[in-house]
Amino acid sequence: MNIIIPIKQVPETSNVKMDKEKGTMIRDGVQTVINPLDLYALETGIQLKEKFGGKITVISMGPPSATKALKEAIAMGCDDAVLLSDKKFAGSDTWATSYTISQSIKEMGDYDLIIAGERATDGDTGQVGPGIAAWLDLPLATYVSKIEKVDETELVVERLVEEGYQKLQMPMPALLTVVKEISHPRLPTLRGKKKARVSEIPIFTAEKMNLKPESLGLNGSPTKVVKIDFPTVTRGGTVVKVEGETGVEEAVDKLLDFLKRKELI
């Protein structure tokens, strides 16, 4: 079974510093990691490979430094990696990103399954996975929490939805986006790390993939950011300290007053 896993490199914490004038993230000095929700996609893919054989190719779109995330994926147990990197890709929204990634997947051809994380923790849209499925016209299951059955041509999966778990049967090739519940990501092995270190990661540019220039990057993105605001984190609420014997009662009374004032009870 050949599996493709698109991943994203994201800042390690969500506590990023912003350049307030430019409205961009200050990336200097910020540690980057594989998007934590992509780890579940990687683990799911590796488990399928262990059962059915085949190979896993990881793809990421980003600056040359995103090679680090791809190498980490190889260290976990993926086989190959491809980096989509070109100045022309900069500023892509989810439409342009899913276009670029889907074209690279077309370029690579032969695959049975694409597995993506539910969303990235920085952009937080969850739109690129479904977008890739739409570009490639693949059957899609989002929020997959369990793969119940796999055979040569077909999958049975469960999706975590509002009412519970929806069970779907779908043919392959298909695209799944997975949630945390599906697996426990493994740590890289020493052997994996060694392999990652010597892996050559090919870089796909816009030219190499024969992409439509008008569909790339900031200019090719239908959505435009027009304004950035910085919400204040601190709400400046009331904090009551429990002190002494009567403290608990008093604190609880004050809380009940607050809830009544706000018409919450």
Partner 1 sequence: MNELWTIAEQKNGKLKSVSFELLSRGRKLADEMNAKLCSVLIGGPMKDETLQELFHRGADMAYVVEDERLEDFIVETHSNVLTDLIETYKPHTILAAATTSGRTMMPYVAIKVNTGLTADCTELAIEEGTNHLLQTRPAIGGNIMATIKTPNHSPQMATVRPKSSRPLPENTSRSGEILRVKLKEELVDARVKVLGIRKDEEEFANIEEADVIVSGGKGMKKEENFGMLRDLASHFNAVIGASRDAVDRGWATYPHQVGLSGKTVSPKLYICAGVSGSIQHLAGIKTAEHIVAINSDPDANIFQVADFGIVGDLFEVIPALNKKLEMEKGGAPDEI
Q: For the chain, how far is it from start to end, CA to CA, in angstroms?
A: 55
Sort strands 154-161 and 164-171 into parallel, antiparallel or unpaired.
antiparallel
Question: Which of 66, 3, 75, 4 has the alpha carbon at shortest distance from 35?
Answer: 66
Window 202 to 261, contacts with partner 1 (CB under 8 A): 221-231, 233-235, 237-242, 247-249, 251-256, 258-259
Residue 104 or 142: the one with the smaller Cβ distance to partner 1 is 142
Among the listed residues 27, 51, 171, 197, the single contact to partner 1 using CB under 8 A: 171
Window 29 to 48, contacts with partner 1 (CB under 8 A): 36-37
Among the listed residues 124, 194, 197, 203, the single contact to partner 1 using CB under 8 A: 124
Q: Give the range of 16-24, 43-51, 81-89, 204-212 binding partner 1 by CB under 8 A.
A: 16-24
Strands (E), 62-206: 80-84, 113-117, 140-150, 154-161, 164-171, 174-178, 203-204
Among the listed residues 32, 107, 122, 218, the single contact to partner 1 using CB under 8 A: 122
Among the listed residues 162, 198, 200, 210, the single contact to partner 1 using CB under 8 A: 162
Least distance CB 247 / partner 1 (angstroms): 7
- Write b or e for each residue in 114-151: b if 16 or more Cβ atoms lie within 10 A of its Cβ, otherwise e: bbbbbbbbeeeebbbbbbbbbbbebebbbbbbbbeebe
Least distance CB 195 / partner 1 (angstroms): 27
Ramachandran bin of 23, using left for φ above 0, alpha for ψ from -120 to 50, beta for the remaining angles: left
In single-letter form, the type of residue at position 47 comes to Q
Q: Is 47 helix (H, G, I), strand (E, B) or coil?
A: helix
Residue 29 or 231: the one with the smaller Cβ distance to partner 1 is 231
DSSP state of 230: -
Among the listed residues 101, 142, 144, 196, the single contact to partner 1 using CB under 8 A: 142
Among the listed residues 127, 185, 205, 218, the single contact to partner 1 using CB under 8 A: 127
Among the listed residues 49, 71, 88, 159, the single contact to partner 1 using CB under 8 A: 159
Q: Give the range of 55-63, 177-185, 188-196, 202-210 binding partner 1 by CB under 8 A.
A: 177-185
Binding mask 65-104 for partner 1 (x = CB under 8 A): ----------------------------xxx--xx-----
Least distance CB 60 / partner 1 (angstroms): 19
Q: Which residue has the tokens 């018409």?
A: 263
Question: Quick check: 56 and 45 in contact, CB under 8 A?
Answer: yes
Residue 47 or 127: the one with the smaller Cβ distance to partner 1 is 127
In degrees and rounded to multiples of 5, residue 96 shows phi and psi of -70, -35
